[in-house]
Amino acid sequence: MTQPPAPLHALITGASAGIGAALAREYARRGVPLVLTARREDRLQALAAQLRAQVPVEVIAADLADPAAPAHLHAETRRRGLAIGHLVNNAGYGVPGRYLADDWKVHADFLQVLVTAVAELSHRYLPEMEARRYGRILNVASLAGLVPPSAGHTLYGASKSFVIRFSQSLAAESRPRGVHVTALCPGFTYTEFHDVNGMRERISRLPKWLWLDADTVARLGVDAVERGDARYVTGSINRVLAGLAKYLPERVANALVASRASDFRDAE
């Protein structure tokens, strides 16, 4: 396996909480210097203070809903002399309810964060990775991008499907040049994600065996991108669900999801 030139940093978006913070802890455990970015600088600074005992940590506050943010992040890391060898596109959230329940600006911001910023940051950092013949891009997608859609959270599964296909294609292009690209597809994960979108009470009714903790998801994700897996679904149960979605007749799969969608989707 190609060894990384040192020191290369891991740039992690959405690092202030949840899977993003768990990924920061995982890279720090592996001795990789960090660049943490998210909207909430106070949370980033608190996490950075914890992790600086293990590795150097830089903080760059940015809101990826701003179309100028990816270019700003790239320019700022270059200005600080930080070589990015690991790009983790993790920032994300959900917009609950019907598609028409929100103004277009809400959906435009969502697409900017979950689709456009992922593609742009990859495009900006990939040339540097290919030039040194080493790089890792870990795009946090979701099991939702692999299973049939349901009413509510209309753009979420669609955005994650894009991230999966984009990652697989980019992996095929970049692997011969020393860069691994992975779409990480977690299922239900214990984070504050469902608190933010107001679904905590409903989602908590799901059986415990469907869930993984964020630290486990982070460890599995970093292992997957190091191996060079173009797509990785966390947890055996989630892999079974993804397989059923692929091989069941579409009408049957859609009906099954529709029958249980109210357990995990707000369609009102």
Band of residue 264 on the pLDDT scale cut at 50, 70, 90 = low
DSSP labels, 56-111: -EEE----TTSTTHHHHHHHHHHHTT--EEEEEE-------S-GGGS-HHHHHHHH
pLDDT band at residue 169, thresholds of 50, 70 and 90? very high
**pLDDT attached to residue 236:** 81
Whole-number Å distance between alpha carbons of 200 and 182: 29
Task: Read off the pLDDT band of 200 (50, 70, 90).
Answer: very low
Q: What is the CA radius of gyration of the chain?
A: 18
Assess contact for 55 and 28: CB atoms under 8 A.
yes
Residue 156 among the catalytic residues: yes
8 A C-beta contact, residue 134 and residue 84: no
Residue range 9-263 in CATH 3.40.50.720:
yes
Do residues 96 and 144 touch, judged by C-beta distance below 8 A?
A: no
Using pLDDT thresholds of 50, 70 and 90, give the confidence band for residue 240: confident
Select which of 27, 125, 134, 156 is catalytic: 156
User: Residue 30 has which token pair?
Assistant: 């592996």
198 — pLDDT class (breaks 50, 70, 90): very low
Q: Transcribe 16-39 into DSSP letters.
A: TSHHHHHHHHHHHHTT--EEEE-S
For residue 211, the model assigns a pLDDT of: 65
29-35 average pLDDT score: 98
Q: Contact at 8 Å (CB) between 222 and 27?
A: yes
The pTM score is: 0.87
pLDDT at 158 over 90: yes
pLDDT score of 197 more than 70: no
Tokens for 214, please give them: 């964020």
Across 223-232, average pLDDT: 98
User: What is the rounded average pLDDT for all residues in the chain?
Assistant: 89
